[in-house]
Amino acid sequence: MPEAIELLHAEVLDHHEVAPDHWVITLDAPEIAAGARPGQFVMVRGIQGTDPLLPRALSIYHADVEGGCIELLYRVVGPGTTRLQEHEPGRRVAVWGPLGSQFRLPEGDRVVLVGGGVGVPPLVFWAERLAALSVPMEVIALIGAQSESSLVGIDRLRRARANVRIATDDGSQGRKGYVTDLLPQAVQSARATIYACGPTPMLKAVARLGKTLETPTELALEAPMACGVGACLGCTVPRREGGFARVCTEGPVFDRDSIDWETL
Amino acid sequence: MPEAIELLHAEVLDHHEVAPDHWVITLDAPEIAAGARPGQFVMVRGIQGTDPLLPRALSIYHADVEGGCIELLYRVVGPGTTRLQEHEPGRRVAVWGPLGSQFRLPEGDRVVLVGGGVGVPPLVFWAERLAALSVPMEVIALIGAQSESSLVGIDRLRRARANVRIATDDGSQGRKGYVTDLLPQAVQSARATIYACGPTPMLKAVARLGKTLETPTELALEAPMACGVGACLGCTVPRREGGFARVCTEGPVFDRDSIDWETL
Amino acid sequence: MELKQSARPNLSVTVAGMELKNPVMPASGCFGWGEEYARFFDLTDMGALVGKAVTPRPRPGNAGVRIVETPSGMLNAIGLQNPGPEAFLRDVLPRVRELGIPVWVNVSANALQEYVDLCGLLSSQPGVSAIELNLSCPNVGRGHAEFCVTPEAVMDTVSACRPVCRTHLIPKLSPNTTDITALARAAEAAGADALSMINTFVGMVIDIDKRRPVLGNRTGGMSGPAVRPIAVRMVYEVAGAVSIPIIGIGGISTWRDALEFLMAGATAVQVGTASFFNPRAIPEVIQGLETWMVDHGVANIREVIGAARVPTGG
Amino acid sequence: MELKQSARPNLSVTVAGMELKNPVMPASGCFGWGEEYARFFDLTDMGALVGKAVTPRPRPGNAGVRIVETPSGMLNAIGLQNPGPEAFLRDVLPRVRELGIPVWVNVSANALQEYVDLCGLLSSQPGVSAIELNLSCPNVGRGHAEFCVTPEAVMDTVSACRPVCRTHLIPKLSPNTTDITALARAAEAAGADALSMINTFVGMVIDIDKRRPVLGNRTGGMSGPAVRPIAVRMVYEVAGAVSIPIIGIGGISTWRDALEFLMAGATAVQVGTASFFNPRAIPEVIQGLETWMVDHGVANIREVIGAARVPTGG
Ligand SMILES: Cc1cc2nc3c(=O)[nH]c(=O)nc-3n(C[C@H](O)[C@H](O)[C@H](O)COP(=O)(O)OP(=O)(O)OC[C@H]3O[C@@H](n4cnc5c(N)ncnc54)[C@H](O)[C@@H]3O)c2cc1C
Ligand SMILES: Cc1cc2nc3c(=O)[nH]c(=O)nc-3n(C[C@H](O)[C@H](O)[C@H](O)COP(=O)(O)OP(=O)(O)OC[C@H]3O[C@@H](n4cnc5c(N)ncnc54)[C@H](O)[C@@H]3O)c2cc1C
Ligand SMILES: Cc1cc2nc3c(=O)[nH]c(=O)nc-3n(C[C@H](O)[C@H](O)[C@H](O)COP(=O)(O)O)c2cc1C
Ligand SMILES: Cc1cc2nc3c(=O)[nH]c(=O)nc-3n(C[C@H](O)[C@H](O)[C@H](O)COP(=O)(O)O)c2cc1C
Ligand code: FES
Ligand code: FES
């Protein structure tokens, strides 16, 4: 018997804006909270209507096992997220998960998180879980955003004792430029492991740098999804060994070497 | 130049349940409020998404000219009204109107309103406007519902000095049976005018009785609508003189004799 | 994204020699003859006015339920209600001519000779800029057969109308067909000046309580956003198969949708069902296209026509 | 609305001699081979299991974007990704046989002989209850041509497969055709035991920023609630044209939708896209039908099959 996935009509417990167009929604979902691992995601959908039709994938930003709830952090970009944003506390959304692969424990004692845009949520969850481990670990979080106003999750990273370094496209906070510019120095002279999540061009750059720096690298990918559970074969990315892998099932977290970055 | 119709993205000022599944929504719509006449309706639609696609027709329940707002009273029956109900105060809905024909002033001094189900709202608006006239008028309101719990607008009718008589299908309030059973007695021995709004079978019965009683009768009809403004020709009802009339434009208020009740 | 210049972009297009100030017009049967929508916006802002179908004789339309909503769409079985050609010429044409924008008359019939006669009559009237030949009407009886879903029937009808048509002749194609490019090529070969595409899909909704089809006519024509991807695909295919201009139709409700059709190869577009759920859909599409052009430094809308077409084999 | 009796209603139907405990099953390609959905409900609750297409050789599927959402629907261009018949027989069939519900294998190919060979191979395997012959696949190359959108092609393919097919043969029809009843009659005449209908509509979405089609394959197959009214109409038409059972498919996501197809004349239904947006769609459809039957005093689901069919001319 494969592991069961919870499908809930979960009550929205809280829903608030954390930055312009960036919202955190808290769902009453004890079973999902209990099973959630960093890097994993859920599929979320309004219950009424058929437009938007498909559920949307959102990473687990925080899982409160005792409180029985999960938090998702998302940016309103199109119809699916607009519809989600309309759900005020007290309403219900359909949600299923936890889904997909998780970040694996680092081998060395330094962890470098690289997050761009709304790629930050799973890294925050990871930083929190790493901080809760008994093994001491140095966590450096390199966070990129278009500008200061779209930086999210920074406080939580700091609370998880991560050393946060920021890059913004417009230089409004931190270094002006790409977050990947900060990577070589962060990895330098340590047995580091890189964990990255963000837009595909950023991930490609991280994968390339990870290879150059000979550093173990895990990347959480995105792809358009219909089902989120492995059935539709819609979310595939090319594998280095040929054929395709499903982002929702074999991923979203992939090892650097398993993906054919050139074709992607 | 034909008269302009206002198309607004109106803010929801208030939205509350007045009976199980029956809601009153208040919209900030000064131009519509100013022009609204009893019997008229508006088309309402959520702004996001294409399912449900079409706007829904709702009668004007109250127009506060000074306050610049209109009230609509509706029952949640399907996707359109379910979607509307989701709009909490502060959100906006697309709304256009006022649309369609209005009740005409009565000739005699007695007015008999006959309302069934969610046919009550336009009659409440009419009772209020009649009460505000300088001419004294006896207003009898015959209100039918499935049961006590789905009676709406009664307080407002009483406040507008209407003499309210009730019939419910299950006898939980007022007389057990059809509202039309109350009609002959209400019309008796007076120069009465009948105004009716409700389900089509009820309207057919009222039209028949109005004819028998030789009483002027105006009926507000319903029909499935796409545009609400006369363009789609989707909302037609058969005319006695042949051909079809548009409920949204020639109606919703029709004179008893203009409709071919047999074919309808 | 640098703005090239802040000059007003040029939205004008030419359809078969006809200059339109912008590529946006209403779809037949979805806009009356404009009178209702004149209460929402200035009709002269449109590229052209396309009215509801005129048939050889007045038609009262269908009895029973005429419309039903579907997921992101609707079915209609109006049955071509219209007052006939005499009333059209007397009451409607004189008024709409005054608008000063091109007026297209949609012509529907049940038989070849009727098409020819009506086309001859209406096309010679001053003020009629084009005849849109409705070769598809699933809602007027004869079971589920449609008039022109085969290339042969399209060829016959357009060929017969061409000599009598004194103005632009624009067949409007049915999507209820195996190969829309074959219909398009037939129309082009028969002398069409442009193609309107597409008309509605035949559909049915069943009332499970009454255990019968909702519509009085049983079936109806499906339109609205739901059909858009099929319409875009058909325009894309036909743009590769003919060289006459295409007017793209099917589910257009925003400027984004209109751009999809233009990029697929349409020279102009029609907005149908969207006017029902947003009476200002047409002016919003026009305004949205203009804003997009300014934002993207597109000086002339003609630059985007066919822009998404990939060479075959690619 | 009196309940006739509180005995459990009978949902079983017979499709070409095959007894199904209820008329609800997944649509091919929308349910894997069940393994993913086994985590949401008990697969043995279904009337049958219909797996994803098997092709003559393993197929990696299409590169680039494979799915895109549309209004109330989606386009897919998966490209028939599957491990081929050997892997199917080795890894999949032994597992799904164990479920004890009928297993239907969907077969897709590019050439007549391939269909025949594959049909022969798979239909003789114990545990395969039916071969669903996918006569429509818009996503596997050769431009936009589909394998079987003409009655002649359907006739040829089904006739060729019939003699080699050792089990029930159920052609699955394409809706991208002028007259679906002609395809259906051809399939019946060629010896089909039942018909699955419909497959997807060919559609396209254009990315207006990139100025090219969103899908790597340019076009894709449209499915989901958007297409339901067209599918219901086609089932209704075909139910009047053939006497073999019909499996209704297209946009079914609730028990209400399933009832529409049954009342239009389908004997069973398949749920496709709906499983993607509601992983419990199939059991909810089954449960909903049962509840509706109890509430309406319908003891046997067979009573509603074709219940909405109005005599022609009516
Ligand atoms: C495993 C996974 C985890 C994710 N986690 C988060 C998260 O924690 N927070 C968050 O805000 N978003 C997350 N996303 C992205 C999120 O799913 C999309 O933003 C969302 O689907 C957009 O839906 P929409 O209808 O609002 O916008 P759409 O109209 O669908 O898209 C708007 C824009 O976003 C692009 N887009 C849409 N879907 C994707 C996608 N899956 N990947 C990349 N680009 C896309 C479109 O091309 C378009 O430009 C995640 C995606 C995946 C696959
Ligand atoms: C001029 C006019 C004024 C109206 N005023 C009011 C009002 O003040 N308050 C109110 O609650 N409702 C009113 N209605 C009815 C209201 O428009 C419908 O209840 C609404 O459209 C239902 O939409 P839905 O999507 O929620 O339900 P649907 O799923 O569309 O319908 C649910 C049920 O209601 C039936 N139905 C749907 N639309 C209509 C219709 N137009 N007429 C009759 N039956 C219908 C359907 O057959 C179905 O059984 C009015 C209708 C018209 C035409
Ligand atoms: C209510 C209604 C009436 C229509 N009447 C006509 C008509 O008279 N002649 C015609 O050629 N098309 C007619 N159509 C089809 C539209 O012009 C258009 O081709 C179709 O609706 C697809 O576009 P849309 O999705 O934007 O509505 C009608 C459509 C609707 C919805
Ligand atoms: C992602 C996806 C993959 C599909 N793969 C197949 C397939 O392999 N074989 C087939 O016959 N149909 C396939 N179909 C079509 C479905 O089986 C079904 O006919 C169609 O989607 C309409 O039903 P729906 O609207 O319920 O999805 C596929 C559909 C989708 C959405
Ligand atoms: S989203 Fe369906 S297989 Fe991954
Ligand atoms: S609703 Fe369109 S004409 Fe009345």
C309 domain-assigned = no
Across chain B, what does the average pLDDT equal? 95
C225 to chain A: closest CA residue: A51
Task: For residue D311, tell me if it sits in a domain.
Answer: no
Q: What is the residue whose two structure tokens read 């962060």? A: A186
Q: Which residue has the tokens 């006497």?
A: D243
Name the band, by pLDDT with cuts 50, 70 and 90, for residue D310. confident
Q: Atom 38 (ligand 1): residue with closest C-alpha?
A: A224
Residue C86's identity, in one-letter code, is: E
Interval B216-231 mean pLDDT: 97
Taking an 8 Å cut-off on Cβ atoms, the answer to whether C149 and D205 are in contact is no
- Cβ(B244)–Cβ(C216) below 8 Å: no
Q: How confident is the model at residue C275 (pLDDT cuts 50, 70, 90)?
A: very high
Q: Do C230 and D222 touch (CB under 8 A)?
A: yes
pLDDT band at residue D6 using 50, 70 and 90 as cut-offs: low
Contacts of A235 in chain D (CB under 8 A): 66-67
> How buried is residue B48: exposed, middle or buried, by Cβ count under 10 Å (0-12/13-18/19+)?
middle
Position D310 in a domain: no
Mean predicted confidence (pLDDT) in C233-239: 98
- C37 and B231 within 8 Å at the Cβ level: the answer is yes
Question: Contact at 8 Å (CB) between B181 and B155?
Answer: no
Chain A: give the shortest CA distance to residue D194, in Å.
26
Residue C145 has pLDDT above 80, yes or no: no
Alpha-carbon gap, residue B5 to B99, rounded angstroms: 8
Question: Contact C225/D149, CB-based, under 8 Å?
Answer: no
Residue D308 within a domain: no
Q: How far is the CA of B57 from the centre of ligand 2 (A)?
A: 7
Res D245 pLDDT > 60: yes
Return phi, psi of residue D251, to 5°.
75, 15
Instruction: Name the least confident of A45-54, A181-190, C167-176, C254-263.
Output: A181-190
Question: Does the pLDDT of residue D313 top 60, yes or no?
Answer: no
Q: Is the CB of C168 under 6 A from ligand 3?
A: no
Residue among B48, B51, B54 with most chain D CBs within 10 A, to mutate: B51
Q: What is the pLDDT of residue D312?
A: 57
Class in CATH terms, A110-216 = alpha beta
What's the pLDDT at A135? 85
**Over the stretch A65-109, which tens digit does the pLDDT of each residue have?**
999 999 999 999 999 999 999 999 999 999 999 999 999 999 888
Assess if residue C254 is contained within a domain: yes
Task: Tell me what pLDDT residue C3 has.
Answer: 47
Tell me the mean pLDDT in the region C269-281.
98
pLDDT digits (tens, 9 = 90+) for A233-261: 999 999 999 999 999 999 999 999 999 99
Q: How many CB atoms lie within 10 A of CB A31?
A: 16
The ligand 4 atom at the shortest distance from the C-alpha of residue D271 is: 26
* CATH number of the domain that residue D294 is part of: 3.20.20.70
Q: Which regions of chain A carry the CATH code 3.40.50.80? A: 110-216
Distance of CA A83 to the CA centre of its chain: 21
Interface check for C47 against chain D (CB to CB < 8 A): the answer is: no
Residue of C nearest to B4 (CA): C39
Considering Cα of B29, then B35, then B38, then B44, what sign does the dihedral take? Answer: negative
Residue D221 Cα, ligand 6 centroid: separation in angstroms?
34
Amino acid letter, B29: A
Range of weakest confidence among A66-70, B13-17, D176-180:
D176-180
Q: What is the largest CA-CA distance in chain C?
A: 61
Q: Using a CB–CB cutoff of 8 Å, tell me whether C1 touches chain D.
A: no
Question: What are the start-end ranges of the H helices in C50-111?
Answer: 84-87, 93-97
For chain D, how far is it from start to end, CA to CA, in angstroms?
28
Residue D207 in this model has a pLDDT that exceeds 80: yes
The β-bridge partners of C104 are: C50, C130
Give the residue numbers in B contacting C (CB under 8 Å), as ranges: 1-5, 7, 45, 50-55, 94, 96, 224-227, 229-236, 238, 242-244, 249, 263
Instruction: Name beta bridge partners: D249.
Output: D270
Max CA separation in chain D (angstroms): 61
Inter-chain CB proximity D39 and A50 less than 8 Å: no
Does D119 participate in catalysis according to the annotation? no
- Residue B188 is predicted with a pLDDT of 84
Q: How confident is the model at residue D2 (pLDDT cuts 50, 70, 90)?
A: very low
pTM of the model as a whole? 0.96
Query: Could you read off the pLDDT of C8-59 as tens digits, one per residue?
Result: 899 999 998 999 999 999 999 999 999 999 999 999 999 999 999 999 999 9
pLDDT classification of C314: cutoffs 50, 70, 90: very low
pLDDT at D142 over 50: no
- Residues in B whose CB is inside 8 Å of some CB of A read 48-52, 79, 82-83, 86, 88, 91
Q: Tell me if D132 is assigned to some domain.
A: yes
**B neighbour chains, 3+ CB pairs within 8 Å:** A, C, D
Domain that holds residue C187: 5-303
Q: Report how far residue C53's alpha carbon sits from residue A213's, in angstroms, rounded to the nearest whole number.
A: 70
pLDDT reading at C141 higher than 70: no
C143 pLDDT above the threshold of 70: no
pLDDT digits (tens, 9 = 90+) for A11-59: 999 999 999 999 999 999 999 999 999 999 999 999 999 999 999 999 9
pLDDT band at D141 (very low <50, low <70, confident <90, very high): very low
> Atom 7, ligand 1: which residue's CA is nearest?
A58
The single residue of D137, D148, D161, D165 carrying the catalytic annotation is: D137
Q: Is pLDDT of D138 > 80? A: no
The ipTM value here is: 0.96
Per DSSP, the three-state class of D287 is helix
Report CA(B59)–ligand 2 centroid distance (Å).
Answer: 10
Confidence (pLDDT) at B1: 40
Q: CB atoms < 10 A from the CB of D98, how many?
A: 9
Query: How many residues are recorded in chain A?
Result: 264
Domains: count for chain C: 1
Strands C130-134 and C103-107: parallel
Atom of ligand 1 nearest to the CA of A199: 43
**Per-residue pLDDT tens digits for A161-191:** 999 999 999 999 999 999 999 999 999 877 8
In angstroms, rounded to a whole number, what is the distance separating the alpha carbons of residues B111 and B141?
8
Q: Is C203 in the pocket of ligand 3 (CB under 6 A)?
A: no
Element (H, E) at C34: none
Q: How confident is the model at residue D139 (pLDDT cuts 50, 70, 90)?
A: very low
Mean pLDDT calculated for residue range C119-132: 96
* Cα C150 from Cα C6, distance rounded (Å): 48
pLDDT band at residue D3 under the 50/70/90 scheme: very low
**Percent with pLDDT over 90 in chain D:** 89
Task: Write out chain C residues lying below 8 Å of B97, CB-based.
Answer: none
CATH topology of domain B6-99: Elongation Factor Tu (Ef-tu); domain 3 (2.40.30)
Going through chain A in order, the beta strands assigned E by DSSP cover 6-19, 22-28, 41-45, 56-59, 62-64, 69-75, 92-99, 110-116, 138-145, 163-168, 175-176, 192-197, 217-220, 236-238, 244-246, 253-255
Start-end ranges of CATH 2.40.30.10 in chain A? 6-99
Tokens 């299923």 label which residue?
A96
User: Do D232 and D250 touch, CB atoms closer than 8 A?
Assistant: yes
